[in-house]
Structure 1
Amino acid sequence: MQEKKTIQSIQALRGIAAILVMFYHKKDTFIIQGKNYGECFFGAGAMGVDLFFILSGFIMMMISKNNSPQKLFNFTSVIKFWINRFTRIIPLYFIVTILFYLSVWRGFNFLHDPVSLNNLEKTFLFIPLNGRDIAPFYGYAAMSVGWTLNYEMFFYGLFGISLLFGKWRWYFFIGLMLCNLILIPTILKGYFSLDAMHHYHFTYGYLNLITNPINLDFLLGILIGFLIFRNNTWKIGKIWSFICLILSFIYVVILYVTRWDAMHGITRWATPIAIFLFFVIYTELNYGLRVPIFLSYLGKLSYSIYLIHLMMQYWTRSLFVHTKLSMYLNTPLYLIVASIFTIIIAIIFQYLIENKLSNYLKQILIKLCRI
């Protein structure tokens, strides 16, 4: 198997996931002659979230297979891992959330609103706004797309702790995750569910998040990593690998076009996505795949695109209203302009915040922690 520093198909799929989510949130603005084509084309775009989660699990498996400590209780490796992850996620998320609030509230008026301040506090602590609300969103976040980062941070928190167990880290991590998803619900409710849309209605809101089956998406990504990197007993031939890749792609496309139960979790979108993802990565690593450069670049911008697209949607709407173009708000023109603005600002934010600021903060924290 060819070892590569970057698996280009992963970058491309990250970009596709971000674009799918962006268009999903703009699906009501693609109306032609009274028909909502946005619902037809982008109604299943929420699948991008499951794709992100599965990729996160796979990436953690990939980067840890050679870089994780074998000794027990290596706290330095845990701190370094958390610094790398948190400086990658938090700066951009916090900045975009504040900018979003400034845009919606037209200034600092939100500072005088207790509900908004409480929402910001929970958001910055990665706590769902309302643990009793619809699963798996649980009230979303101050900026709605932030609900997914609550799960990401929980995943990275558990994964960091598992590094303390050295070569046994995966046994600990998978055991702890299954304890959350199976044992806790069974003890407290008498059953467990695999449906990410199921709500246990625990009194403590955060308990609903850590027991939600959508966390199995991360385990699917880890499973893909195990099958690809730790398999020495079988190999899929080149022809069969490409056949399976094509068939799994067609399967996902059919599900997308027919808008098959377009929601989250392994009982819905995650499983067909995981099958396709396995064959994409396996085929690239073993036989090579040509990935268009623009898709790889979109993958580089994916986090910025994902976070800022709602804010850019709001800015574009305001622009259309103030320039007397409001009659085009529910047309493809609005969709195109908002998407272009999103890409442009994403390029700027990726360079200034994801790259420069995050790396600067990472170096400061590494020096402070003396690691």
Structure 2
Amino acid sequence: MIANIQTLRAFAATAVVCFHVVGIAENYGFPTELGRLFVPWGAGGVDIFFVISGFLMVYIQQRRPKSPMAFMWNRAVRILPLYWSLTLLIIALQILAPFVFRSNFVTMETIVASLGFISIYTTGSPIIYVGWSLEYEILFYIIFSLAIFAPKLRYGALIVGAALVLLVLAGILKPLAFEFLFGMGLAFLFRKETWNTRPVYASILLCGGLLLLFFSSVFMQGEQMRLIYWGIPAVLIVAGALLLPQWSSPLALLLGNASYAIYLVQVLTLPVLFKAGVIVGLPSSAGYVLAFASIAFTLVFGCATHLLLEKPLDRLFRKTLPAFFREARPRKANTVSSKNSVGE
């Protein structure tokens, strides 16, 4: 496992939570002015996730090659059970306890679009609003699985690149989809062992990327520039993390493993304390306390969801994996020692 990638996942998930808590606090009348300074940085967490995703798909396929069907089954087991479970939970709450929500946003159209990962092409936003990024991920996985048919992985990467270019030109995806390609490029460089460098240079890449992500966000005007203002810093951050000596702590690894659950549950957990604050009549000056408490609550709840729901679901569905889905596609030329294998 590349421990630094797991730590970076923890950072990215927490950053996105911090981004959303500022807007939610304001919606409930608890403004956090200082928090607005970190809004651009937090939103860039999704860009880091996209680069990491592109990197991991190539890196894993290089070391543990899978057939296209096995690849998609593994991705489906990783993404669908938790996402569908939480989506169905929100649908049930909307029907049984509509007073919990500020508006009625569940319709048959949004249900079908959300469960089918096509909201960004139809209704505009899924029921779990952060799920828009997963719809990008799913489409990337489908393209990547088809590219596995190519005789060599590098040819498959060219197919993925061409497909994403066409989808962006057609207006189906936004340019930030190219961040998957950035991550794939890092994986090919990493495999060729051209990453031998001094930790000080890796630290410069990582810290420079973090600072660039923050300051460039001030100048970003519109989503069309996101690939430059947030995508490039995200590449520097991931590259720096890969180059640094591998570091981990039990807490960082737990948060990294739970990053997917944290990313999803925030839509349920972040409003809770602010709703309570409104009910008990807390003054607006309590916004900072509620914000920090909401972030902590989300991280804890996300870890609990990972341990008590996500992992059991993963084990359950992997036990049902048909034998022919488990077969790896031989690719001797691309097989590398698995000493530094990455968890899927």
TM class, shorter-length: 0.7 to 0.9
Tell me, in whole angstroms, the C-alpha distance in 1 between the residues paired with 2:30 and 2:77: 46
1:175 and 2:137 aligned = no
1:9 and 2:8 aligned = no
1:66 and 2:28 aligned = no
User: Cα–Cα, structure 1 residues 235 and 246, in superposed 2: closer, same or farther, change >3 Å?
Assistant: closer
1:84 and 2:74 aligned = yes
Task: Name the amino acid aligned to 1:97.
Answer: T
TM-score, with length taken from structure 1: 0.76
SS in 1 for 2:107: helix
Partner residue of 1:243 out of 194, 197, 201: 201
Match of 2:186 in 1: 224
Q: How much has 1:96 moved relative to structure 2?
A: 1.4
- Bigger drift between 312-321 and 325-334 goes to 325-334
Larger helix proportion of the pair: 2
Task: Name the amino acid aligned to 1:249.
Answer: C
Q: How much has 1:139 moved relative to structure 2?
A: 1.7
SS in 1 for 2:315: helix
1:144 and 2:129 aligned = yes
Query: Equivalences for 1:233-272 in 2 at 5 Å?
Result: 236-238=196-198, 241-256=199-214, 259-261=217-219, 265-272=226-233
Q: Percent identity?
A: 24
Q: How much has 1:117 moved relative to structure 2?
A: 1.9
Contact 1:87 1:359 in 2 (8 A): no
1:121 and 2:112 aligned = yes
Contact 1:83 1:362 in 2 (8 A): no
Contact 1:305 1:343 in 2 (8 A): yes
Tell me, in whole angstroms, the C-alpha distance in 2 between the residues paired with 1:59 and 1:140: 27
Tell me, in whole angstroms, the C-alpha distance in 2 between the residues paired with 1:174 and 1:230: 18
Task: Name the amino acid aligned to 2:65.
Answer: S
Q: How much has 1:268 moved relative to structure 2?
A: 2.0
Contact 2:266 2:298 in 1 (8 A): yes
- Bigger drift between 51-60 and 21-30 goes to 21-30
Q: How much has 1:340 moved relative to structure 2?
A: 2.5
Contact 1:18 1:48 in 2 (8 A): yes
SS in 1 for 2:248: coil
1:309 and 2:266 aligned = yes
- The runs of 5 or more residues in structure 2 that have no matched partner are 328-344
- The runs of 5 or more residues in structure 1 that have no matched partner are 1-5, 70-76, 132-137, 189-199, 201-207
User: Cα–Cα, structure 1 residues 105 and 67, in superposed 2: closer, same or farther, change >3 Å?
Assistant: same
Tell me, in whole angstroms, the C-alpha distance in 1 between the residues paired with 2:38 and 2:185: 31
SS in 1 for 2:320: helix
- Bigger drift between 174-183 and 89-98 goes to 174-183
Tell me, in whole angstroms, the C-alpha distance in 2 between the residues paired with 1:342 and 1:17: 14
Q: How much has 1:273 moved relative to structure 2?
A: 1.7
Contact 2:197 2:243 in 1 (8 A): no
Q: How much has 1:65 moved relative to structure 2?
A: 0.8
User: Cα–Cα, structure 1 residues 370 and 23, in superposed 2: closer, same or farther, change >3 Å?
Assistant: closer
Q: How much has 1:54 moved relative to structure 2?
A: 0.4
Contact 1:216 1:265 in 2 (8 A): no
Tell which has more relative contact order, 1 or 2 (C-alpha 8 A, sep 6+): 2
Q: How much has 1:328 moved relative to structure 2?
A: 5.1
CA RMSD of aligned residues (A): 3.2
Give the paired residue count.
319
Partner residue of 2:140 out of 150, 155, 158: 155
Match of 1:363 in 2: 319
User: Cα–Cα, structure 1 residues 355 and 114, in superposed 2: closer, same or farther, change >3 Å?
Assistant: closer
Match of 1:332 in 2: 288
1:38 and 2:23 aligned = no
User: Cα–Cα, structure 1 residues 277 and 181, in superposed 2: closer, same or farther, change >3 Å?
Assistant: same
Task: Name the amino acid aligned to 2:162.
Answer: L
User: Cα–Cα, structure 1 residues 237 and 181, in superposed 2: closer, same or farther, change >3 Å?
Assistant: closer
SS in 2 for 1:331: helix
SS in 1 for 2:247: coil
Q: Deviations over 1:47-86 (max 9, x none)?
A: 00000000001111111112216xxxxxxx2222222111
